[in-house]
A and B are shown apart, each in its own frame.
Chain A
Amino acid sequence: MIDIATIRKRAKRRKRTQRIGFSTLAMVTLITMVPIAMVVIYVFIQGLPAISWEFLTEQPREGMRAGGILPAIVGTFWLTLGTAVISVPLGVGAAIYLAEYASDNRWTRIIRVAIINLAGIPSVVYGLFGLGLFVLFLNFGTSILAGSLTLSIMTLPVIISTTEEALRAVPSSFRVVSISLGGTRWQTIRRIVLPQALPGIITGVILGLERAAGETAPILFTAAAFFLPRMPGSIFDATMALPYHLFVISTQVPGMPVKIQYGTALVLLVFVLGMNLIATLIRSRSRARRQW
């Protein structure tokens, strides 16, 4: 027999275990969150003094130890844009295929496995692949083109999976109605599904490009120039890029002023954070406005 007092005591003990457990989880979560915030704040504090109009709009001087970082900013911009131009149509197209056309058969599963694998391949291996295929075999040389192509393939899985999710979130009843009114599959996708999924797609694309903009390893042997104090003239030129520049000035150049290092880090961080912020805003906006 168990009397009431024992039951109460046990209940109390279980309550306490739960309280302790929940507090521990909260603490650990805090341990994850605090460093993220600290990284951002710290880079801002250390980097802000270096930021000036000259820093953002001038060429580097004195072996990168003075002057600005404009070529790196411009280079990252072009690489990101190039990646977008290639990966967005390809990724969105693949997502449309998977969400709207593919039936659940063996080939579709193979495609999914391929995408999962693309997502898992180390970024430096993408760099090797880009070197082997685009730089050497196709003879694009170390160039914005080769770098963008390499980054595009790396970015594909992110764009495909987020876009597919956005497409699948559109209620299937819309599709049935559109088809029943004499719409073809593509008319249905273009007029109903894509417009409804657009905010989600844009969010996914930006998150994918954010990843690409911050990557170093894939452009290491495919696009990046150590020091090239001028603007890239065409897509066949090598270019400086923010992440690679940060790597160079923090490991390869002795006697580098810390201020410039943090300044570069801050510009890179703002680039990435800005994209992240835009993505988050679009997502929350569209959720609030959604009619279904």
Chain B
Amino acid sequence: MISEIPTPTPEMMPDASITPKIVVKDLQVVYSDGNESLRGINLVIPERAITVLFGPAGGGKSTFLRTLNRLNDLADVAEVSGHIWLDDVDILDSQIDTIALRRRVGIVFARPVVLPMSIRQNITYGLELAGERRASHLDEAVERSLKAAALWEEVHDRLNDPAVALSGGQQQRLCLARVLALEPEIILLDEPTSGLDPISTGKVELSLQELKQRYTIVLVPHSIQQAARVSDFAGFFLNGELVEYAPGKRIFTHPQDQRTEDYIEGRFG
């Protein structure tokens, strides 16, 4: 079953000039306890830019993120309907290869979870799962991804140490490096700096600015300040609905919807 990609309507676009990477149409997610998490989401996520999804807790941002690489398959999701086209593939199609999808769409979680192995093994893990055994390729990937995550300088001389020995900030950058090693097209970040100190947060945000030259990034920020700092485009999620979606510069200075304005100015949330 291959459905045609619709031409995105202007409301779905944050800006007319973008190149679409992901097109989401009528997305609806219901949890098996009956809770409706997402209702009628329509949006286009542009390529090679940082798209920020913000809003109060429970608004469906994380659920949306995890739908983009079908990680919700593991959770108690009763029903997912609608379409999500990544390039020209509808990833909600039950026939698609979810394993290959997750290699194209990497995710970094709020709490850094390093696997119980060495720093090096954490990075090569995903590649080895994909069948990569050539040592030269693996070594190259370790160095490349650690550099891209701004961690190489700190750990290059102790790659075989257990990853748990790293500090929280380093662990989170290792998680980012682990995703980069797979050379995905899209990187999802779910409040990646919520547990980090300001210096580590700064490092992560800096590497994101570098990474957006090559990757499509979707970020759920841990604060509005962060959202304003890093966003190229931003969408405001409230109670499972996308209220407003626009370039970051505009939404944080001239929000069109009253609810967005209230939230940004701190009247609720």
Contacts and interface: CB of A to CB of B under 8 A. Distances in A.
Interface of A: 171, 173-184, 187, 191-192, 196, 291-292
Given A176-B74, A291-B162, A291-B164, A181 B129 contact: yes
A181 B71 contact: no
Contact of A187 (B109, B129, B164): B129
A163 B103 CA distance: 31
Given A291-B162, A291-B164, A174 B115 contact: yes
Nearest to A172: B74
Interface string B118-149: 00000001100110000000000000000000
Interface of B: 69, 71, 74, 99-100, 102-103, 106-107, 109, 111, 113, 115-116, 125-126, 129-130, 162, 164, 175, 178-179, 182
Nearest to A173: B113
A171 B178 CA distance: 19
Given A192-B115, A196-B116, A183 B74 contact: no
Contacts of B107: 180
A175 B179 CA distance: 15
B113 A182 contact: no
A188 to B, nearest CB: 9
Given A182-B182, A184-B99, A291-B162, A177 B113 contact: yes
Nearest to B126: A181
A182 B98 CA distance: 8
Contact of B115 (A178, A179, A187): A178
A173, A174, A179, A181 — most chain B CB neighbours (10 Å): A181
B69 to A, nearest CB: 7
B103 A182 contact: yes
A183 B74 CA distance: 13
A187 B125 CA distance: 11
B100 A176 contact: no
Contacts of A181: 102-103, 106, 125-126, 129, 178-179, 182
Contact of A180 (B106, B111, B116, B130): B106
Given A182-B129, A182-B182, A187-B129, A292 B116 contact: yes
A180 B125 contact: no
Given A177-B175, A179-B102, A182-B102, 7 more contacts: A173-B113, A174-B113, A177-B109, A179-B74, A181-B102, A192-B116, A196-B116
Contacts of B102: 179-182
Contacts of B106: 180-181
A174 B116 contact: yes
A196 B109 CA distance: 21
26 contacts: A171-B113, A173-B109, A174-B113, A174-B116, A176-B74, A177-B175, A178-B115, A179-B74, A180-B69, A180-B102, A180-B106, A180-B107, A181-B102, A181-B126, A181-B129, A182-B99, A182-B130, A182-B182, A183-B125, A191-B129, A192-B115, A192-B116, A196-B116, A291-B162, A291-B164, A292-B116
Nearest to B128: A191
A102 B100 CA distance: 24
A182 B162 contact: no
A181 B126 CA distance: 5
B116 A291 contact: yes
A192 B107 CA distance: 18
A235 to B, nearest CB: 39
Nearest to A184: B99
B50 to A, nearest CB: 20
A225 to B, nearest CB: 48
A12 B80 CA distance: 64
Q: Which of A174, A177, A178, A191 has the most CB of B within 10 A?
A: A177
Contacts of A174: 113, 115-116
A176 B114 CA distance: 11
Contacts of B125: 178, 181, 183, 191
A210 to B, nearest CB: 29
A116 B125 CA distance: 38
Contacts of A291: 116, 162, 164
Contacts of B116: 174, 192, 196, 291-292
B167 to A, nearest CB: 15
Nearest 7 pairs of A and B residues by beta carbon: A181-B126, A182-B103, A173-B113, A182-B102, A183-B129, A291-B164, A180-B107
Nearest to A174: B115
Nearest to B163: A291
A175 B100 CA distance: 17
Contact of B126 (A176, A182, A196, A292): A182
Contacts of A192: 115-116
